[in-house]
Amino acid sequence: MEVVNYLLGYENLKIVQNTQMFNFSLDSVLLPNFITINTSTQKIMDIGCGNAPIPLILSTKTKAEIIGVEIQKEVSQLAQKSVELNNLQGQITIINKDINDIRGDFESDSFDIITCNPPFFAVKEKSNFNKNDYKTLARHEVTLNLDIICNTAKKLLKNGGIIGIVHRPERLADVLVTMRYYNLEPKKIRFIHPKEGKEANIVLIEGKKNGNNGLKVLKPLISHDSNGDYTKEIQNYFR
């Protein structure tokens, strides 16, 4: 069943969702508010864009061209509806294609930023897959993994271009090792904690293509207060 909601706290953005599919979460709000965007940014790609929460939020921060790539046809159709609902067809393009097949569609070194909220779980022999294919592909590295993401970024990013990934802290070592293997030097990290005193459950990582060594660990971000409400910093994202 399709429903139209406001994009979390963004009162000027609406998003089309399907209750049977994997819906976006706070991760998709954190990443576009973490990534470094400047006035020279001209072209952005969001890999595995889902129903387009990251492209929609990015459109509030930049006038750059934004391309969202989504392998699942039905999910990409939701993304396209969301783009049209917000009259953003002139800025956001949704492409329904496997990222492995799209690298040849663009010139090398042509993007300023690549973002990705990837599947968090590595596929193992005993992996317990959700019977709903939409959720399986969103959660498990079946069609999209860190090597594919970083290899794509290595090819498509300009020299000095930025890659931004949101992931789980327990996979941080995998993310950093893979980024370095593809010459995407980790430059800044931020841990997200659900509440004060709780362990981090999200980590944001930004890297630079062919960047110099030098990693900054930013102060932790607490997402919810003791009452379960969003903290002021999270609320500021929505403004």
Q: Does the structure show a pLDDT above 60 at 127?
A: no
**What's the confidence (pLDDT) of residue 99?**
86
- Work out the mean pLDDT of the chain and round it to a whole number: 87
**Closest alpha carbon to 60 in 81, 76, 44:** 44
How many whole angstroms separate alpha carbon 164 and alpha carbon 115?
A: 5
3-class DSSP string for 101-123: HHHHHCCCCCEEEEEECCCCECC
What single-letter amino acid sits at 140?
H
Cα distance from N-terminal residue to C-terminal residue, the chain:
29
Between CA 110 and CA 39 the distance in angstroms is 16
Average pLDDT over residues 22-48: 90
Which pLDDT belongs to residue 121? Answer: 47
Could you report the per-residue pLDDT of 63-95, keeping only the tens digit for each?
999 999 999 899 999 999 999 999 999 999 999
139 has pLDDT over 50:
no
Task: Tell me the mean pLDDT in the region 214-231.
Answer: 94
**Who wins on pLDDT, 139 or 95?**
95
pLDDT tens digits along 16-30: 877 665 555 788 899
pTM of the model as a whole: 0.87
The CATH number for 2-238, chosen from 3.30.70.260, 3.40.50.20, 3.90.1010.10, 3.40.50.150, is 3.40.50.150
State the Cα–Cα distance between residues 1 and 156, nearest whole angstrom: 36
Alpha helical stretches, state H, the chain:
27-34, 53-58, 73-85, 99-102, 133-139, 146-156, 172-181, 232-238
Residue 235 phi, psi dihedral angles, 5° rounding: -60, -35
**Which structure tokens are listed for 112?**
């300023």
